[in-house]
Amino acid sequence: MKVTHVLSATAPDNGTETTIALNTNLRTVQVDGKPCKLTTQEYLLFYELACNAGSMQTREDLLANAWGFLSPGKTRTVDVHIQRLRRKLGASLIQTVHGQGYRMCAQPVACAL
């Protein structure tokens, strides 16, 4: 398995550390060494957030980069997919930046292994 991104996140409520491995060749994600099933769109959204970990991404940026929408208009697509990612990967991993977008709260620990 070629892992291209490894992220580490610590839950603020209990201090539990989570390790997330992203394999861009196979388009798979592992959480603490266990496979996590993501839909294609969930994976693309997670990839965008992971590649920009620590930086806020607007809904418009995420729609353009993960969905290819050039003129998104009003849509809740990003919000719904963020909810699904939080259920699968952990609620504290993705932070909402009120009125602006989202931020991956994990820190990269390795790349291109």
Tell me the pLDDT tens digit for each residue of 71-112. Answer: 666 788 999 999 999 999 888 889 999 989 999 887 655 444
Q: What is the per-residue pLDDT for 39?
A: 95
Residues 6-29: tens digit of each pLDDT: 766 655 555 667 778 888 888 888
The reply to whether the predicted model has a pTM over 0.85 is: no
Contacts of 21 by beta carbon, 8 Å cutoff, 6+ apart: 3, 5, 6, 29, 30, 33
The domains located in the chain, with CATH, are 5-111 (1.10.10.10)
**pLDDT tens, position by position, 25-59:** 888 888 888 899 999 999 999 999 988 888 999 99
